[in-house]
Structure 1
């Protein structure tokens, strides 16, 4: 390990809802199997916003203990330059000091039922970077990847602010996989935010008969077309349910993927999907959603699939980004220094003229 590493670093620290502070923390030193990286880019995710604003999933309610374990450094959409390797860490994933790399967002325990079955993304312990004490995130100048982490090399010609999109793209690919899209399917993706746009690019590679994207912002819909959408619809301008029914002889779409995080998009999907269709729910909802479950069961007999994280999808995401499958210079709309993290959160929350906001801790 280099003796040139600093002893302290700047980091954003989450102490509670709307209580995020820029602080000085010690620079971690890697132990056996661990990797220390210098962080050039970290994205702000919709789940970061929900944690910041106090969503029950992260802070608990009468039904559950909150997922977030403050004080913790947020940030799970990231890439890093390897600066130090603990004993044995380089051999496992072929990492070298100076190389660009990414670590999958969940660090599995490798002991629970799910991990033993290869379903590591549903690990019972479930330590995702940026929320848990074992897995401090990337909104810092340096970041430590535990020995149990799953790491991948990133081609050196991929710009770091593009590579920070690997994580959301991997999640998007997994959601599309859960949709089980067939060649003749009409597919509707609700939401043209960063994840929705990744889903559009991934779904395009499945060659559905018609790929429709729904969003309230025309600018995002323009980007969706460049990601591969055949048709875009704005619910503030047209009745999107009637439009989809009209396109499908009244049957409805075959696959509906919800990526907005808004309850109205769930009801909209249940109304526009055909009988025996597949509904994929991806979003982290800020509040509980109430729908008519009769539609799911007795009326349409739907396949309801959840989608969580991006298991086994990181190599595909890296390859898609390297090949330019997405217009990332249009998707990454803002690049800010770490100290402007509050402004970055505000930009993401307002959605005005933004899609993906990336912080650059070492700019």
Structure 2
């Protein structure tokens, strides 16, 4: 058994023991080639009873899907009180559990800011092999002082950079690699938000600056990295750079559980949920899954059609294609009329009033429509050729 195999099996054994799962029951990493992973992020358990209740239901839902393991990309809220609550919650998972620290899992004024994370899960950055895939968890949190207060900046210290380079170099060239990091390496979130501030509990939005992001992208692109999974933004955004897909994935908590018992959405108006990563003989794909009380069957939705519209020369139509990657194109038509191209929607919206990805819009002339019910259809083409078609009824006022 070589060092990498030892680390892989040791990780599974450790996680099995830590999660009250028999290490003997953990799958043999050398024999598995087809498996699923549940990728979750941004649970924010500090929001209290509603967070515990809804997260518990999501855990039960994930258990029913029987993924091989769960990978949590941070913002669990490992504070002294809520951290214990979170650790109690994840005992409900019936499979091994991997974790990455988010900016809300770092103790800003502790001599060891990762103390609670280390005590609960072990190292903040690490790698392991499973089912012919190499997995790397990256810790992108750096405590800095800004305006007289400690906060988080997105950065890897020299020791972690050296470790990452060595780890990547040791992976066989044909082995696919999946990386996970909390703060996105590639994202348009800050730009779309106008560089604005987070809610009051976090005054500055941490981000990788351009040079740091470019350094990491160039490093990862030298190896067989297929996918980088990211949290932090509470939205779905997918961008491919230098052959690597960078995926910011919707938060489990949506917009910090603000809806209470009701339907919960992220900052991009996507129903709260998680992502399933599918590995089939080394081929990697993934899909967004909406969760529990916010479960939907469609892959997108129109907005503004709940009430009858008044026929006009320029009727706004907006379609949210929940998981459409950047670079997707869209068109729409009313009834059996001609297809009309849609443009990226650039108006601000959602909980934090920002430009949202995967939204498309057009201004339609509806003056020729008779009063009554009509059918609106959107057709979205992703860069990889995937087609999403969704329709909805609407009413023209008489």
TM-score range, shorter chain: under 0.3
TM superposition score normalised by structure 2: 0.24
TM superposition score normalised by structure 1: 0.26
Larger C-alpha radius of gyration, 1 or 2? Answer: 2
Q: Structure 1 or 2: larger strand share?
A: 2
